[in-house]
Amino acid sequence: MAKQVSIAVVGSGYVGLVAAACFAEMGHRVICVDNDDAKVTMLREGGIPIHEEYLPQLLGKQRQNMVEFTTDLRAATQAAEAIFIAVGTPQSRAGSADLSFVDAVASEIARSIDSYKVIVEKSTVPVYTNEWIRRVIERNGVPKDMFDVTSNPEFLREGTAVVDFLHADRIVIGTATERAAEVLRRIYEPLTSGEYYRSGSAVPGPRGEDDPPPILQTSTKAAEIIKHASNAFLATKISFINIVANICEAAGADVEEVARGMGMDTRIGPKFLRAGIGYGGSCFPKDVAAFRHVAEQVGVEFGLLQEVEKINEEQKLRFFQKVRSALWTFRGKKIGVLGLAFKGGTDDIRESPALDIVQRLLHEGCIVSAYDPAAEQRAKDVIPSSKQMIYVADPYAAAQDADALLILNDWREFAELDFKRLHHTLRYPIIIDGRNMFDPTTMSSLGFTYLSVGRPGSSQPQDPIPTYYLPRQREAAKR
């Protein structure tokens, strides 16, 4: 039996709350800290502030004994052997990571330390942050032998966060001392030894008793760079396939076939080769910008990342132009929208390309009726409901009398739409799919005008001016 560790997790967001629930599931005692009173009250009363598969089950099971919620960081620090910092590291105006939340937490931990603690960076932070945390704690008068600062970056994806955590590809531990490494190894032992998967009640996933996640022990700096470089690389893969999609579209090839062919090469792999409307979310945009900033700071030119960002911006615009090319004019048209979160499976709308496109449509005078299985509440904080922006309870209500239906994220339930019903519901049977969820041939045989990304027939002719306008324009040109 792996030994229990008492853990404090600071920050009860997508990462902190999932980490807390999973550590408890692995047999540890966890105190989850947040400075948002409303969130802590909600969690104490059995509510869950985010949408994440398996999280309600795990918290339901562990809440009574293994996880508690508090706003008291001091008490949590004193009760814990390891303190994970999982607060936000948003993008600053300059593009770098804003580390003020991490700084505030580090200072408060320093003021509370009363015995040896392992402080773990779980937030995504630039290289050298570990050094800074150490300095902040020392400046607060804590002796060097009372603490270690380690880095344990998190690689989970929203939507599959619990499975990703418990069935990780790898567990990276960046540490300068064996004392801290031993604590972290103990924390993850239920996974790395395979014990968790033998338990019979494990959350199902790709890992198992015979194939547990490996631990990679590195320097703290390497661990920090592994996280930034991994996210920047995945964003690069997405922008790469999006540009390839644009080439396919121009050449009359199918990007899905191309991506399949590329992905079968084990050196490339099939993941993150899905053409669409660009990446979003709370991680890729800010982490690409932060990593570019890190490169600048250390005197390395990383123009590639600038190009990745530019392609991503243009991809949203390109999709928007596709909608325009299908509808000609926008003002007063009703557009059905499926998907508001930055991807399916989550309620997170931070940097969502879907919301970006909805905002452009509203700006052009469209009426939008939108459906998302989980993101409606959060979307309403950004775009309140109005006569122009209508939130509806199912995909068919979104499509009702609409001039076109846009698919902007990839919730599984969108793949199971009843197309006959949809055809009757829409005013015009036009579907513009930003996530390539359907087969173009099937869609056209069902009677839809179907436009998608990087596939033959996936855009209307670029010049949408009807021919009857042309003579008059010619006359005007002569004059």
Residues that bind ligand NAD (CB under 6 A): 10-16, 33-36, 39, 86-89, 101, 104-105, 123-124, 154, 156, 158, 282-283
| d(C-alpha 306, C-alpha 295), whole Å | 12
The single residue listed with the structure tokens 């004019």 is 329
Neighbours of 332 (CB within 10 A): 10
On whether the CB atoms of residues 235 and 288 are closer than 8 A, the answer is: yes
> Which amino acid would we find at residue 409?
N
Burial degree of 303 (CB within 10 A; 0-12, 13-18, 19+): exposed
Torsion of Cα atoms, 239 then 242 then 247 then 250, to 10°: -140
Determine which helix (DSSP H) or strand (DSSP E) holds 29, and give its type and residue range: strand 29-33
CB of 262 to ligand NAD, least distance (A): 26
CA 461 to chain centre: 34
Q: Which residue number, 159 or 190, has a Cβ lying nearer to ligand NAD?
A: 159
Q: Which residue number, 74 or 221, has a Cβ lying nearer to ligand NAD?
A: 74
| d(C-alpha 286, C-alpha 290), whole Å | 6
CB of 39 to ligand NAD, least distance (A): 6
CB of 386 to ligand NAD, least distance (A): 27
The single residue listed with the structure tokens 């496109």 is 357
| d(C-alpha 23, C-alpha 2), whole Å | 12
Q: Which residue number, 2 or 40, has a Cβ lying nearer to ligand NAD?
A: 40
CB of 147 to ligand NAD, least distance (A): 18
CB of 218 to ligand NAD, least distance (A): 17
Which tokens go with 388? 């122009």
Picking from 394, 455, 407, 402, the residue whose alpha carbon sits closest to that of residue 429 is 402
Q: What angle do CA 105, 174, 351 make, to 5 degrees?
A: 60
248 catalytically annotated: no
> Which amino acid would we find at residue 126?
P
Q: Which residue number, 256 or 347, has a Cβ lying nearer to ligand NAD?
A: 347
On whether the CB atoms of residues 199 and 155 are closer than 8 A, the answer is: no
CB of 153 to ligand NAD, least distance (A): 7
Q: Which residue number, 124 or 130, has a Cβ lying nearer to ligand NAD?
A: 124
> What number of H helices and E strands is found in the chain?
19, 14
CB of 283 to ligand NAD, least distance (A): 5
User: Out of 22, 32, 248, 283, which one is annotated catalytic?
Assistant: 283
CB of 10 to ligand NAD, least distance (A): 5
Q: Which residue number, 73 or 191, has a Cβ lying nearer to ligand NAD?
A: 73
Task: Name, in order, each residue with C-beta under 8 angstroms of 446's C-beta and a sequence gap of 6 or more.
Answer: 419, 420, 423
CB of 162 to ligand NAD, least distance (A): 12
Q: Which residue number, 34 or 433, has a Cβ lying nearer to ligand NAD?
A: 34
Q: Which residue number, 158 or 249, has a Cβ lying nearer to ligand NAD?
A: 158
Picking from 392, 255, 258, 232, the residue whose alpha carbon sits closest to that of residue 312 is 232
Picking from 277, 292, 346, 317, the residue whose alpha carbon sits closest to that of residue 13 is 346
* 122 phi and psi angles, rounded to 5 deg: -110, -25
User: CA neighbours within 13 Å on the CB side: how many for 139?
Assistant: 10
Q: Which residue number, 238 or 432, has a Cβ lying nearer to ligand NAD?
A: 238
On whether the CB atoms of residues 152 and 173 are closer than 8 A, the answer is: yes
| d(C-alpha 344, C-alpha 373), whole Å | 9
Residue whose Cβ sits closest to ligand NAD: 13
Catalytic residue list: 283
